[in-house]
Amino acid sequence: MMKWGLTLVLMLPALQLYCWGFYAHRLINENAVYLLPPEMLVLYRKQIGYLRDHATDADKRRYILKAEAPRHYIDLDRYGDYPFPDLPRKWTEAVNKYGKDTLIQHGILPWRILEMMSSLTGAFRKHDGSSILRLSADLGHYIGDAHVPLHTSSNHNGQLSNQHGIHAFWESRLPELLAEKEWDFFIDKAVYVHNPAEMIWKVVMESAAAVDSVLTIEASLSVNTAPDLKYAYEWRNRQLIRQYSGVYSLSYDRRLNGMVERRLRQAIHITASCWYTAWINAGQPNLSALNEKLPPEQVLVVDSLARLWLNRAVKSRSCD
């Protein structure tokens, strides 16, 4: 049965219909590895395939676990106007003010990132190689989400402004078209983060500040573009799908003035820096022997959950 489950899990990326940002999440984790010091590369470089391929596990869990979805966003506009001074940054203070249920309803992304950093530090202290890799992959995913403006808005997919699909346009379509051909990922090495909470909230607030630009620039471009130039049909996974055209995508990227590339570069650097910080806080444990203790591949989804995820993913045409 486990052999069948492994086969199914390996098939999932080919069968599912491109949830938002899968390409970008893999790119973030893979490029973050190269920013680490040699003492960490002995583990992370050898396991780069795992970190890349499992960068999307957190999205897959959204089909399976009800508690997963709020970990990917925070609807800051539910707490007033930018810069949202009424929302406490500390979890306990926010719970005391709004209640846990309200916070979960509107998303808990920044607090989830801090929780994952703490868990990763614990895994380093325990020399638990499997947990280090799993938590590192997930941490990179959530950090990537925090860099997407629409992950900080209740208008997360343009559904409130008649721009349905803009989430995937910004987060997935532009990176897939431009990352390899035009964008630069030569980035400074990871640094120690002295105040992770302050850094993460800064990232989230930067994303929130960019929401209006993401929406208004696309709306203006759409009004001035004929429908037959805005969309094109492309083959993906043996299916012909309607997609934003290459010309329209390039125009949007130019009008954004490099926003997506900048956010992607920062996500890579902060992911590496958070991995590095967790390792430092754990006492800089020796990681060189952990590769020998790891299984060839970690299957994170058991058979029944894998089938459930596959069934729901095939029925869905997008992930919000």
- Per-residue pLDDT tens digits for 30-45: 999 999 999 999 999 9
Query: Is residue 18 predicted with pLDDT exceeding 60?
Result: no
Query: Is residue 299 predicted with pLDDT exceeding 50?
Result: no
Query: Is residue 111 predicted with pLDDT exceeding 80?
Result: yes
Q: Which residue has the higher pLDDT, 199 or 234?
A: 199
pLDDT at 38: 96
pTM: 0.87
42-51's contacts with Cβ under 8 Å and 24+ in sequence apart are: 42/287, 42/288, 42/291, 43/129, 43/132, 43/287, 43/288, 43/290, 43/291, 44/136, 44/275, 46/291, 47/133, 47/291, 47/294, 50/133, 50/137, 50/297, 50/298, 51/133, 51/136, 51/137, 51/140
pLDDT at 14: 33
26-30, 209-213, 293-297: segment of lowest average pLDDT: 293-297
pLDDT at 318: 38
* Measured distance CA(208)–CA(149) in Å, rounded: 6
- Identify the residue whose tokens are 């020796």: 286
pLDDT at 209: 98
Query: Is residue 222 predicted with pLDDT exceeding 70?
Result: yes
- The average confidence (pLDDT) of the chain is 88
* Measured distance CA(302)–CA(194) in Å, rounded: 38
pLDDT at 183: 96
Could you tell me the fold of the domain covering 19-160+167-209+264-298? P1 Nuclease (1.10.575)
Query: Is residue 300 predicted with pLDDT exceeding 80?
Result: no
